[in-house]
Structure 1
Amino acid sequence: MDPKTLYYLVAAALVMVGLAGTVLPALPGLPLVFAGMLLAAWVDGFANVPAWVLVLLGLLTLLSLAIDFWATALGAKRVGASRKAVLGAMLGTLAGLFLGPFGLLLGPFAGALGGELLHRRSLGSGDIGNAAKIGFGTWLGILFGVVLKLGLAFTMLGLFALAWWW
């Protein structure tokens, strides 16, 4: 196999794993997408993708990292979540990986709910309802972040494709 072809296959694999990583929290999604596009541009000798496009793609990658933290924090803050609820949502998301798509949907909510209940340490009247509200708000923040990152991923792919074939 030609080394160039092997590099292109590795670049495509990085992009595909990166796209999966925009949904799965254990993988650095957009940094992997960017690494794949950078590798493809390098293999081509940067003939089809100019440096300014790669700089723009790098900036979008950095933006995606900020979105990860911002969206989760926004969802949690809007409903008054504690730090334990946010940490619980992240841990619940990781645990949900092992339970398939259903686990990915319920894991962040269950983790945020558990984290908030641990934070409160007492189960007075209304505490479970408030913790559930916080769990749901945190989950919505994570979901909003995933949607934004997917939009960025496809924007990046579109920009790269335009630069490559233009």
Structure 2
Amino acid sequence: MDILGWSLVILLFVVGMAGTIYPILPGSVAIYAAFFVYGFFFSFDELGIIFWILQTLIFIVLFIADYAVSAWGVKRFGGSRASVIGSTIGLIFGPFVIPAFGLIIGPFAGAVIGEMMAGSNFEKSVKVGWGSLVGLFTSVVVKIILQSVMIALFVLWLVF
């Protein structure tokens, strides 16, 4: 049972980190779920209330930062609400429509189309599209850092 428990925890960590790049995977949710898997297979006693408070705070910050940082990129480059929505739609559907490059093309195209629908000219819309990519890449970096902190905190909590 120990091997199964640790295998599931590690698998959830891998899925979580993959979710930083591929937004369809439940990144931070998978990592958070790994803590519950550990508790069910081994013990919740080792983790304690401080652990859960810290992890929950990071988890909440991840959810807020994921949307806020992406939206920041679009807004920073002069985008409207329509381009934020378009970028989000592109981020979700892009990888399915264009499997190899959809993660990059989707948010860019979604932001451009959204901004053009809001009445902006093509030049401004393309600028906003670039902003969506800046936001996307910044969001990925933030998620990698915070999710790595979640995993490191878990490991350190068990070691010490």
Same fold (TM over 0.5): yes
User: In structure 2, what is the equivalent of residue 28 of structure 1?
Assistant: 26
Quote how far apart the aligned CAs of 1:62 are.
0.6
Q: Does 1:118 align with 2:117?
A: yes
User: In structure 2, what is the equivalent of residue 147 of structure 1?
Assistant: 141
Q: Output the CA distance in 2 between the equivalents of 1:38 and 1:32.
A: 10
Instruction: Give the SS at the match of 2:101.
Output: helix
Q: Does 1:132 align with 2:138?
A: no
1:11 to 9, 28, 31: 9
Q: Output the CA distance in 2 between the equivalents of 1:41 and 1:158.
A: 17
Query: What amino acid maps onto 1:111 in structure 2?
Result: G
User: In structure 2, what is the equivalent of residue 91 of structure 1?
Assistant: 89
User: In structure 1, what is the equivalent of residue 60 of structure 2?
Assistant: 62
Query: What amino acid maps onto 1:8 in structure 2?
Result: W
* RMSD, aligned CA: 1.9
1:125-155 deviation line (CA, Å, top 9, x unaligned): xx11110011111221122111101100111
Q: 1:48 touches 1:165 (CA, 8 Å); kept in 2?
A: no
Q: Output the CA distance in 1 between the equivalents of 2:149 and 2:90.
A: 29
Quote how far apart the aligned CAs of 1:100 are.
3.6
Q: Output the CA distance in 1 between the equivalents of 2:136 and 2:85.
A: 12
Q: Would you identify which runs of 4 or more consecutive aligned residues in structure 1 move more than 4 Å?
A: none
Quote how far apart the aligned CAs of 1:47 are.
4.5
Q: Output the CA distance in 1 between the equivalents of 2:5 and 2:82.
A: 43
Residue ranges of structure 1 left out of the alignment (5+ in a row): none
Q: Output the CA distance in 2 between the equivalents of 1:128 and 1:94.
A: 23
Query: What amino acid maps onto 1:105 in structure 2?
Result: I
What does 1:37-48 align with in structure 2 at a 5 Å threshold?
37-48=35-46
Q: 1:85 touches 1:115 (CA, 8 Å); kept in 2?
A: yes
Residue ranges of structure 2 left out of the alignment (5+ in a row): none
Bigger-Rg structure (1/2):
1
User: In structure 2, what is the equivalent of residue 82 of structure 1?
Assistant: 80
Q: 2:15 touches 2:26 (CA, 8 Å); kept in 1?
A: no
Instruction: Give the SS at the match of 1:25.
Output: coil
Q: Output the CA distance in 1 between the equivalents of 2:158 and 2:40.
A: 12
User: In structure 1, what is the equivalent of residue 153 of structure 2?
Assistant: 159
Q: Output the CA distance in 2 between the equivalents of 1:101 and 1:164.
A: 39
TM-score, normalised to structure 2's length? 0.88
Q: 1:93 touches 1:108 (CA, 8 Å); kept in 2?
A: yes
Quote how far apart the aligned CAs of 1:86 are.
1.0
Aligned residues: 159
